[in-house]
Chain A
Amino acid sequence: MRRVGFAKAGRVLAGLALATILGGAADRPAPLDVEHWRKAFARPDHAPTPPGNPASPDKVALGAKLFDDTRLSGSGDVACATCHQADLSFSDGIDRHPGLDGQPLERRTPPLWNLAWALSFFWDGRAESLETQAIEPIENTREMAGDLDRSLQALSADPQMRKAFASAFPEDPAVSRANMAKALAAFQRTLVSPETRFDRWVKGDDAALEPDEIAGLSLFVGKAACVACHKGWRFTDDAFHDIGLPGDDKGRGPILGIAAADHAFKTPSLRERVWSAPYMHDGSLASFEDVVDHYADRVIRRPTLSADLPQHLDLSATERAQLVAFLNTLSSNDPPRPASIPPKAMAFGTDAEVVATSTVSQKDRRFTPGAVVLTVGEALRILNDDIRVHNVRVDGPDKSFNSDAQNPGDTVTIGFDRAGHYDVICGIHPEMRLSVNVESAQKEK
């Protein structure tokens, strides 16, 4: 280093020391980038619906009826709404609902807000669509223990139900399993959480939040790094994280067959959570204060712990209270009712520019580029240049691939021997989507 370099470094160090002496300026949080976060947390104009199940008022109405219909259960006295109570934010207010055998179910009943935007369903993400999800609790022997064939017979014998199915599905009016699933899914997609004080702040009303709440927001997106997982207007990344809770439940790991994803559960949305305590997949935390205390003091350190958690989180009592104050602003002041928001058919996927390359990065939980074109026989190399464990998956009719745990530094290579379109995702971070078009060599010529 040249002398001038030393002099410059000395000035910088002296400046830092002075700043520290003058009240710890170096420790002060960075000022909140208000415009950035207002954009990041802005609510959408439309609720997405899949092209294969467009929404209609009749379909939603049928779904709402089915949601309350105890004929879907084996015993005839349990409905979806038994656990997903509208008055309790479509949850049940307890840690784990008793199953039909009298023993608590494995996991907490999740609230149903904003599932239209979700990428996977259940705490472990084992269902890829709401249509798939809707049927599983009905047939689960500990939840509703339903016999769908028998239930469909009972519904078919009900003239009003036949009429409702015919109105909801004019092109295929059958009282069928598929239509039942579609109607239930369509209804659940209408459960959009209403605007809260925080949304007023997002829209530009500076006075909508009090100073403590703003301070809590600053912590949320800054020092506490909550936003690493609780991102976007729903405050979830739809990914799976081990957040260091005690317990034997392996969560996402067994679904993927990857030990690195053990203890990982889907990031829950933070919308309307005032009305849906207790918290976490096992309902083990009673209050927001308990949740904040968990992240600050009680995280169990183990190899599967999410890389998105701060390594050390030192929060004062005031900071904890500020975080709680902010979390409260994501819930309605009064018991919430679903907001009306128009549906719009949207296909999930990437609209990224297609690049002819065979190497893809995963830095910052993103496939880059997001869309590639290959020729048949060419191998795709996906490099984990991120700080997190990933899992590359292809689940399609023509190809199925699961990379196992892909640690930072690992490269996954996938060969494509047939032309076609393939969707590649990360099983741990399903918002990571890569579109792969494989073209025949002849076409390229």
Chain B
Amino acid sequence: MKKRKIWAGLGTAVLVAAPAASQSALLPIQSQPRIEAKADQTLLQLAQHQGHAAPAATAGGEGEGGEGEGGAPQLPPALHLYRGIEMIRGHLLVGAELIEAGRWPDALPHFLHPEEEIYASIRDQLKSYNVAPFQVALKALSQTVKAKNKDAYVRARAALDERLAAAETAVRGTEANGPYFVYETALEVLQQAADEYEEAIEKGRIANVVEYQDARGFVLEADRLLSTIMPAIAAKSADTAKTVQASLNDLKSIFPSVIPPKQPVKDIGQFLSDVSKIELQLGNLR
């Protein structure tokens, strides 16, 4: 049984025994480790992505690909893989927004991070699920962004999207309870979004733009992911669907645009509170 760390509010972390229902006992544990703010960091730190320094569950070194920070348990392989794919999609999503805005240099980190920070942690699992590797497609895509070549970008993006869709199909096909699995994945992506958002904010302002954009991409991707199962959620419980949608809307409102506001719309505690509301509905999908 997997234990999940959730946030019920500012400074309070709880563990939920999954697959526990929303009425599961909430046990207080230690506060989530925080990344220390650096006093000399300025607002424009596009090239100083932190890498998130979380150990990967599998081979692959540092980056967003891993989990288990602070001694938390590693994810089951399918969940780890699906989470990785959706985080890649989150990066691509926000990268695409920046390209549409003509901000190619700003978009580039979001096309480099999937290959540099996530892919290595899922490479072996792709093999075990008999999914063709797509590292080459990631590299080729980032190169089109570096070249600021829109036509090439569109083609390379389409080629990668095909690979990602094939990978998703392969992983989902092994899960008996598809909606529950997708929901779990979305929660993991939201948890990573929370980490990014926390890193983005320093001294009450959004100081790290790339982390803000990462968080935005992950939230929007989680929203997209949950929208694919919202009919299934509603079929089980209309109230659950309503609660989840309301919390997602709250989360999305934290990111009014791809270019961040100077002042955060909400603090990390409020962000985590919304995530916890979604998480507490997980048991209703069993």
Spell out A's residues near B (CB within 8 Å). 85, 87-88, 92-95, 98, 274-275, 277-278, 286-289, 317, 321, 324-325, 328, 331, 335
The docked-state distance in angstroms from the alpha carbon of A98 to that of B158 is 19
Instruction: Pull 12 A–B residue pairs with CB atoms less than 8 Å apart, ordered by A.
Output: A87-B147, A88-B149, A88-B152, A93-B156, A94-B152, A98-B151, A274-B139, A275-B139, A277-B155, A287-B159, A317-B130, A324-B132
In the complex, residue of chain B having the shortest beta-carbon distance to the beta carbon of A321: B132
Chain B residues numbered 144-174 whose CB sits less than 8 Å from any CB in chain A? 144, 146-147, 149, 151-153, 155-156, 158-159, 162
Q: How far is the CB of B260 from chain A (nearest CB, A)?
A: 28
Within 8 Å CB of B139, what residues of A?
Answer: 274-275, 335
In the complex, residue of chain B having the shortest beta-carbon distance to the beta carbon of A289: B132
Q: How many residues in B have their beta carbons less than 8 Å from beta carbons of A?
A: 20
Within 8 Å CB of A94, what residues of B?
Answer: 149, 151-152, 155
In the complex, residue of chain B having the shortest beta-carbon distance to the beta carbon of A87: B147
The docked-state distance in angstroms from the alpha carbon of A287 to that of B158 is 11
Quick one: given A87-B146, A93-B147, A335-B146, are A275 and B140 in contact (CB under 8 Å)?
Answer: yes
Within 8 Å CB of B156, what residues of A?
Answer: 93, 277
- Tell me if A92 and B152 are in contact (CB < 8 A): yes
Q: B29 within 8 Å of A by Cβ?
A: no
The docked-state distance in angstroms from the alpha carbon of A95 to that of B151 is 10
Partner of B144, one of A93, A95, A98: A93
Partner of A85, one of B136, B137, B149: B149
Within 8 Å CB of B159, what residues of A?
Answer: 277-278, 286-287
Q: B12 within 8 Å of A by Cβ?
A: no
Of B130, B132, B146, chain A has the most CB atoms within 10 Å of the CB of B132
6 A-B pairs closest in CB distance = A93-B152, A87-B147, A286-B159, A94-B151, A274-B136, A85-B147
Within 8 Å CB of A328, what residues of B?
Answer: 136
Q: B243 within 8 Å of A by Cβ?
A: no
Q: B143 within 8 Å of A by Cβ?
A: yes
Chain B residues numbered 123-142 whose CB sits less than 8 Å from any CB in chain A? 130, 132-133, 136-137, 139-140
Within 8 Å CB of B146, what residues of A?
Answer: 87, 335
- Tell me if B151 and A92 are in contact (CB < 8 A): yes
The docked-state distance in angstroms from the alpha carbon of A328 to that of B139 is 12
A94-B155, A274-B136, A274-B139 given. 18 additional CB < 8 A pairs? Answer: A85-B147, A85-B149, A88-B143, A88-B147, A92-B152, A93-B140, A93-B147, A93-B156, A275-B139, A275-B140, A277-B140, A277-B155, A287-B136, A287-B137, A288-B136, A289-B132, A321-B132, A328-B136
The docked-state distance in angstroms from the alpha carbon of A88 to that of B141 is 10
- Tell me if B149 and A274 are in contact (CB < 8 A): no
Q: How far is the CB of A273 from chain B (nearest CB, A)?
A: 9
Of A94, A98, A289, A328, chain B has the most CB atoms within 10 Å of the CB of A94
Q: How far is the CB of A338 from chain B (nearest CB, A)?
A: 16
In the complex, residue of chain A having the shortest beta-carbon distance to the beta carbon of B135: A328
Q: How far is the CB of A95 from chain B (nearest CB, A)?
A: 7
The docked-state distance in angstroms from the alpha carbon of A331 to that of B137 is 13
Within 8 Å CB of A98, what residues of B?
Answer: 151
Q: How far is the CB of B52 from chain A (nearest CB, A)?
A: 22
Partner of B155, one of A93, A324, A335: A93
Within 8 Å CB of B143, what residues of A?
Answer: 87-88, 93, 275, 335
Of B140, B152, B155, B162, chain A has the most CB atoms within 10 Å of the CB of B140
